[in-house]
């Protein structure tokens, strides 16, 4: 088991390195750099000005070197300027400050500065991630129990009318992406045109204090899309368990249907949905981006859109590192959990 986890972690680190390198490369392509220079410096710079600005800020060096600096395995650049020196690790100064570190990258905990928000990336990511965690927590609270309930009810009598109705409901929910269900929910429950106005159409105020009124619609919107998929997986798993030999044995020895479901089938049927729920995280991340944009909830997904839309390189890198790590860690947990929950599988 230990070697299995170690190997998975090694693959995970390799994947994270590759992905950040790809993001780094794409954000450092020529036209993107030009955009940075023009937004940071002056919008009307000539090509020569752009080139000198980029050179003066350390952008014109080979890509692997820049990546190494960002990562913190190569010493940060130090460039002579007319006013003194400019270094990656200490900014503009007359001369290199005595206590300045040589390495300053992600590994040293220095995530750089956002060019849009003018704040350290680490702070932005931490606050925004906290807000999104709040959203995700309530999504999970709503989504997982209802999805499992629907799945178990549908799967315990496969092919029955209940099964058909619930399966259709879960198909409907998987067929409704967040930007459709969000729009419909806002239209019905929050607009003055329909006039119900039960909830608020924006969740901006939920960032400080979330109430049922301002937070329910975004939570429901994300939960609806993920729910159908988990419910269908639970249904398939439950239906498979219900045809197993030991269930038939239990039925034949006279155990009531309720007890068969609750005591014999349920635990085994919930192994597969566990992995599915864990693997839902990358998908939910997608939903989070859409819903946070739709409801103007300034969390992690909203930050991603802002960073990507403005080519805020360091913020975008920070965001992608975090999201990639979230995806990979959930994959790891799902693998370990599957092995741990399922007695039939053993990893030497």
d(CA 247, CA 205): 51
Backbone angles phi, psi at 185, to 5 degrees: -65, -45
Query: Of the two residues 104 and 284, which places its CB atom closer to other proteins in the complex?
Result: 284
Question: What dihedral do alpha carbons 327, 333, 338, 341 form, nearest 10°?
Answer: -150
195 touching other proteins, by CB under 8 A: no
29 touching other proteins, by CB under 8 A: yes
Residue 206 vs residues 100, 137, 199: alpha-carbon distances, Å: 41, 14, 12
134 touching other proteins, by CB under 8 A: no
Which region, judged by CB under 8 A, interacts with other proteins, from 39-47, 104-112, 169-177, 209-217? Answer: 169-177
Write the CB contacts of 226 (distance below 8 Å, at least 6 apart in sequence): 139, 143, 147, 280, 283, 284, 287
CA angle 225, 317, 282 (to 5 degrees): 20
Which region, judged by CB under 8 A, interacts with other proteins, from 140-148, 184-192, 208-216, 245-253? Answer: 184-192
179 touching other proteins, by CB under 8 A: yes
Question: Binding marks (x or -) toward other proteins, 325..344, rule CB under 8 A?
Answer: --xx--x-------------
Query: Of the two residues 79 and 172, which places its CB atom closer to other proteins in the complex?
Result: 172
As measured in angstroms, the least distance from the Cβ of 34 to other proteins is 8
d(CA 324, CA 236): 29
Question: Binding marks (x or -) toward other proteins, 285..324, rule CB under 8 A?
Answer: xx--xx--xx------x--xx--xx-x----x--xx--xx
Query: Of the two residues 120 and 282, which places its CB atom closer to other proteins in the complex?
Result: 282
Binding-site ranges for other proteins (CB under 8 A): 11, 15, 18-19, 23, 26-27, 29-32, 34-35, 153, 157, 160-162, 165-168, 171-172, 174-177, 179-180, 183-184, 186-187, 190-194, 201, 257, 282, 285-286, 289-290, 293-294, 301, 304-305, 308-309, 311, 316, 319-320, 323-324, 327-328, 331
């Amino acid at each position: 088991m230990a070697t299995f986890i170690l190997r998975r972690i090694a693959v995970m680190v390799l994947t994270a390195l590759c992905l950040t390198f790809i993001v780094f490369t794409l954000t450092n392509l020529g036209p993107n750099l030009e955009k940075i220079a023009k937004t940071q410096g002056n919008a009307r710079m000539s090509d020569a000005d752009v080139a000198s600005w980029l050179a003066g800020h350390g952008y014109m060096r080979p890509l692997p070197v820049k990546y190494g600096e960002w990562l913190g395995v190569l010493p940060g650049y130090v460039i002579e300027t007319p006013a003194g020196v400019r270094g990656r690790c200490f900014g503009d100064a007359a001369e290199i400050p005595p206590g300045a570190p040589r390495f300053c990258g992600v590994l040293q905990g220095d995530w750089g500065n956002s060019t849009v928000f003018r704040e350290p990336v680490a702070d932005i990511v931490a606050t925004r991630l906290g807000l999104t965690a709040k959203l995700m927590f309530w999504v999970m609270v709503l989504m997982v129990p209802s999805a499992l309930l629907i799945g178990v009810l549908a799967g315990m009598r496969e092919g029955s009318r209940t099964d058909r109705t619930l399966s259709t409901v879960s198909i409907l929910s998987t067929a409704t992406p967040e930007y459709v269900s969000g729009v419909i929910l806002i239209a019905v429950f929050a607009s003055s045109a329909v006039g119900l106005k039960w909830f608020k159409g924006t969740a901006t105020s939920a960032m400080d204090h979330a109430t049922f009124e301002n937070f329910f619609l975004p939570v429901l919107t994300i939960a609806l899309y993920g729910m159908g998929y988990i419910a269908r997986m639970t249904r398939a798993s439950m239906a498979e368990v219900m045809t197993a030999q030991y269930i038939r044995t239990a039925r034949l020895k006279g155990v009531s249907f309720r007890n068969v479901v609750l005591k014999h089938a349920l635990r085994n049927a919930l192994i597969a949905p566990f992995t599915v729920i864990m693997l839902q995280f990358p998908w939910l991340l997608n939903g989070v981006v859409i819903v946070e944009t739709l409801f103007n909830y300034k969390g992690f997904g909203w930050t991603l859109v802002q960073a990507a839309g403005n080519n805020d390189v360091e913020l975008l890198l920070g965001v992608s590192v975090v999201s990639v790590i979230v995806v990979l860690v959930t994959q790891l947990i799902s693998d370990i959990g599957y092995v741990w929950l399922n007695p039939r599988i053993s990893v030497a």
